[in-house]
Chain A
Amino acid sequence: QQPVQSPQAVILREGEDAVINCSSSKALYSVHWYRQKHGEAPVFLMILLKGGEQKGHDKISASFNEKKQQSSLYLTASQLSYSGTYFCGTEKAAGNKLTFGGGTRVLVKP
């Protein structure tokens, strides 16, 4: 079953923050986050494993609450390069098959 992402779209000014949520109705083993720019392949951002971990890369970080079966991606002090569509991919077990959410379109304006 496809995880639910919210919001569907967000418009930011450069330097502003945003949060993207990814919720599943099923227990999760891991959550993967990717960013895709128009006409290009998705680019890996990070993986979070069950255990309630948090991760960060530059000013993009994420958390995973396995009890709530949800993950959040935090865009801090957004840059123009952060524009794109963000997808979460969830894994129910260590079988490496991902089910992707509907995506969140992010537009960062100068």
Chain B
Amino acid sequence: AQKITQTQPGMFVQEKEAVTLDCTYDTSDPSYGLFWYKQPSSGEMIFLIYQGSYDQQNATEGRYSLNFQKARKSANLVISASQLGDSAMYFCAMREGISGYSTLTFGKGTMLLVSP
């Protein structure tokens, strides 16, 4: 079974609108971390936001927020007021375990296109 599922291969949104990118995860470990990364066409991987499994509040970073629904095992990324520069591939990732040397497991990504 996939540990990270991103069901939207592609999403379109108009500039200034909000968009939600879906991510569901599968783990039996009570301690885990969820991450979102952005990969623009230039290729680099840019860290956006982090949510820990024990965090009581949803994470926010500027225009990015993470809608964390633990019972549903979902960690959707919400981008408010989309900008043209938000057009990129977005990856959800999970680190299982408290910390230490756990590596990231990535989803297949969602390509977001923002139109004027």
Same complex for A and B? Answer no
B positions within 8 Å CB-CB of A: none
